[in-house]
């Protein structure tokens, strides 16, 4: 099970290839799809290898991708949901 995942803002991507090249786990590859500007955004071809290190996020010149730890994200989401429930109950 992957420890991490990536979130891609497809329309911002300019297909520079930094994230693909410098991902330490070779998770990404440029896809054959393209955004409205004609660039091929990346997609996760090895999602299971993603550690959520966010190096892709640091490299991206276009703020089009970032990585996150799924366990932390789940915990944060659970916490947020619990808070919402508590507020609704009041």
Partner 1 sequence: MSSSLCSLTAPANPVEDLLRTDRMPHIWCPGCGIGTTVNCFSRALIDSKTDLSKLSIVSGIGCTGRVAGYVNLDSFHTTHGRAIPFATGLKLASPDMTVVVYSGDGDLFAIGGNHLIHAARRNVDLKVICVNNLTYAMTGGQTGPATPLDVITATAPYGTYDPAFNLPYLVEAAGAVYVARWTTFHVKQLARSMAEMFSKKGFGFIEIISPCPTLYQRRNKMGDGLDTMKFYKQMSKTKHGAPTNEVGLTKSGEIIVGKFVDRERPDFTTMMHAYLNQRLGDDYIPAEAPVCS
* Residues that bind partner 1 in the complex, under the rule CB under 8 A: 5, 7, 11-12, 14-18, 21-22, 39, 55, 57-63, 66, 68, 70, 73-74, 76-78, 81-82, 85
The distance of closest approach from Cβ of residue 87 to partner 1 in the complex, given in angstroms and rounded to an integer, is 15
Closer residue to partner 1, CB minimum distance, 34 or 68:
68
**Residue in this structure with the two tokens 């190096």, named with its chain if needed:** 55
Give CA–CA dist 33/43, Å, rounded: 9
Among residues 45 and 76, whose Cβ is nearest to partner 1?
76
C-alpha 14/C-alpha 41 separation (Å) is 7
Dist CA 42 CA 6 (whole Å):
10
């Amino acid at each position: 099970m992957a420890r991490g995942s990536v979130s891609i803002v497809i329309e911002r991507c300019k297909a520079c290839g930094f994230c693909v090249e410098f991902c330490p786990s070779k998770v990404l590859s440029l896809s054959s799809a393209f955004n409205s500007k004609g660039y091929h955004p990346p997609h996760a071809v090895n999602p299971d290898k993603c550690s959520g290190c966010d190096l892709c996020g640091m490299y991206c010149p276009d703020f089009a991708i970032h990585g996150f730890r799924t366990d932390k994200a789940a915990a944060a989401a659970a916490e947020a949901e619990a808070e919402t429930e508590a507020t609704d109950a009041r």
